[in-house]
Structure 1
Amino acid sequence: MSTILSVAGSPSATSRTARLLHYLNARLTSDGHRVIELDIRTVSAQALVGADFQHRDIVASTELFAQADALVIGTPVYKAAYSGLLKSLLDLLPQDALSGKTVLPLATGGSTAHVLAIDYALRPVLSSMGAAHIVQGRFVLDRELDLREDGSLVIEPTAAKALHQALDQFSCALAQPPMLPAAS
C-alpha cells in the first residue's frame, strides 16, 4: 500500500480542517495505507516567514514530501484562497516536490462562495509542483462539521458520503500505475 502524507494547512489549534483530516486519515489507515501527518502550524513560524530553507523543520517537511507516494492536503479557505500557512510551506519546497504524486485537495469554509478555491487557487500550484494526478477535490462547509466537546467530529451525512467518494477516487488513483512525464 501507499505512504500518504496528510498535510493540515490551518493555523488554528481547534481547526475543523485538521479534525476532518484526522477522520479521513483513519479511513485511509484502515484501508491499509501508511499515513504520516504534517500539521503545518507546528513548523517554525520564523522559518516559514523568513524563508529559512535550512531550518530543521523545513528540511524535515521536505523529506516527508519526498517520502510520500501521495498526499491529502487540507486547508481552510480565507479570502477566497487556501491558507497563507500552506502557501508559506509550499513556497519553500522544491519546485518538483509533488512530481509523480497523486494529490487529494480538501478545503473547508463558511460559505459556498469559496467552493472554487480548490480549482482556481490550490490546483494550479499543485500542478506547477509536478503532481501526476490531482483527484477531484472536496469542499466542506463549516456547518457540515460538528466538533463535539469530547474532540470527536460528526460530519453531515451528505458531506460524509461525498468525502468517502473522494477517498474512493483517491484510492483508485493510487492503485493505477504511475503516470510518466511527457517526452521533451
Structure 2
Amino acid sequence: MGEIVVLSGSPSAASRSDSVLRYMGDLLIQKHFTVSHLSVRDLPYEDLFTGNWESPAIRDIALMIRNASGVIVGSPVYKGAYSGVLKALLDVLPRDVLQHTPVLPVMTGGSASHLLAIEYTLKPVLATLKGHNLKGLYLLDDQIDKHRNNPIIEDAILERTEKQLYYFADLVKGTVVWN
C-alpha cells in the first residue's frame, strides 16, 4: 500500500483542521495505508521565515512529500485564504514536489462565505507544485468537535468526507483512474 503524507497548515496546536486531518489519517490506516503526519509547527520557524529551502528539515519534508503516493493538505481559513505559515512552507518546497501525486485539499472555516478559498487559494498553489488536485473538502467550524475521536459531528458531512477520502485512497492504490 502507498505512503500518504498528511500536511497540516494550522499554526495552532489544538485546531479543528488538525483534528479532521488526524481522523482522516486514522481512516486511511484502517485501510492499510502508511500515514505520516507533518505540521508546519514541526518546522524551524527560522527556515520558514527566511525561506531557507536548503535546510535539512525542509529537504527532509520535500523528500517525504516527493516519495508519497498521495498527499492531503489541510488548513484553516485565515482572511479568505490558507494559513500564511503553510504558504511559507509551500514557497520553499521544490516547484515539482507534487508531480504526478494525487492531492486532497481540506480547509476548515467559520462560515460558508469562505467556501471558495479552497478553489481560489489552496488548489492553485498545489497545482503550481504539479499536484493532481481532487475536488477537496471544506468543513465549517460548527460541524467539527475537535475533542472527539471522530471530530465530524454531522452525518452528511462525515459521509461526504469519507466518500472523498476513499476516492482519494482508490486513486493512490491505482484502482480508479482520474476523471
TM-score class, shorter-chain normalisation, is over 0.9
Tell me the equivalent position of 1:142: 141
Counterpart pick for 1:175 among 170, 173, 176: 173
Q: Write the letter of the residue equivalent to 1:138.
A: L
Contact 1:3-1:33 within 8 A present in 2 as well: yes
Q: Pick which of 53-62 and 2-11 moved more.
A: 53-62
Q: Which residue of 2 aligns with 1:64?
A: 64
Aligned length: 176
Higher strand share goes to which structure? 1
Among all aligned residue pairs of Structure 1 and Structure 2, give the percentage whose two residues are the same amino acid.
Answer: 35
| Distance in 1 of aligned mates of 2:68 and 2:128 | 18
**TM-score scaled by length of structure 1:** 0.90
5+ residue gaps, structure 1: 180-184
The alpha-carbon deviation at position 41 of structure 1 amounts to: 1.1
How far apart in 1 are the matches of 2:49 and 2:16? 24
> Deviation at 1:154?
3.1
Q: What's the TM-score, normalizing by structure 2?
A: 0.93
**Distance in structure 1 (CA, Å) of the matches to 2:28 and 2:175:** 19
Superposed counterparts of 1:1-184, under 5 Å: 1-131=1-131, 133-148=132-147, 152-155=149-152, 156-176=154-174
Amino acid at match of 2:162: H
**Which 4+ stretches in 1 moved above 4 angstroms?**
none
Q: Which runs of 5+ in 2 are unaligned?
A: none
Distance 1:177 1:167 in 2: 14
Contact 1:100 1:178 survives alignment (8 Å): no
In structure 2, distance between residues paired with 1:27 and 1:59? 28
Contact 1:115 1:139 in 2 (8 A): yes
Q: Once the 2 structures are TM-superposed, how far is the Cα of residue 153 of structure 1 from its aligned partner?
A: 4.3
The answer as to whether partners of 2:170 and 2:176 remain within 8 angstroms in 1 is no
Letter in 1 for 2:37: E
Q: What are the Cα deviations for residues 6-58 of structure 1, in whole angstroms up to 9, with x where unaligned?
A: 00000001111111111000100111111111011110111101011222221
Which structure carries more relative contact order (alpha carbon 8 Å, separation 6+)?
2
Would the alpha carbon gap of residues 42 and 105 (structure 1) be closer, same or farther in structure 2, given more than 3 Å must change? same
Taking the aligned partners of 1:7 and 1:154, their CA distance within structure 2 comes to 18
Distance 1:100 1:147 in 2: 32
Give the conservation status (yes or no) of the 8 Å contact 1:135–1:169: no
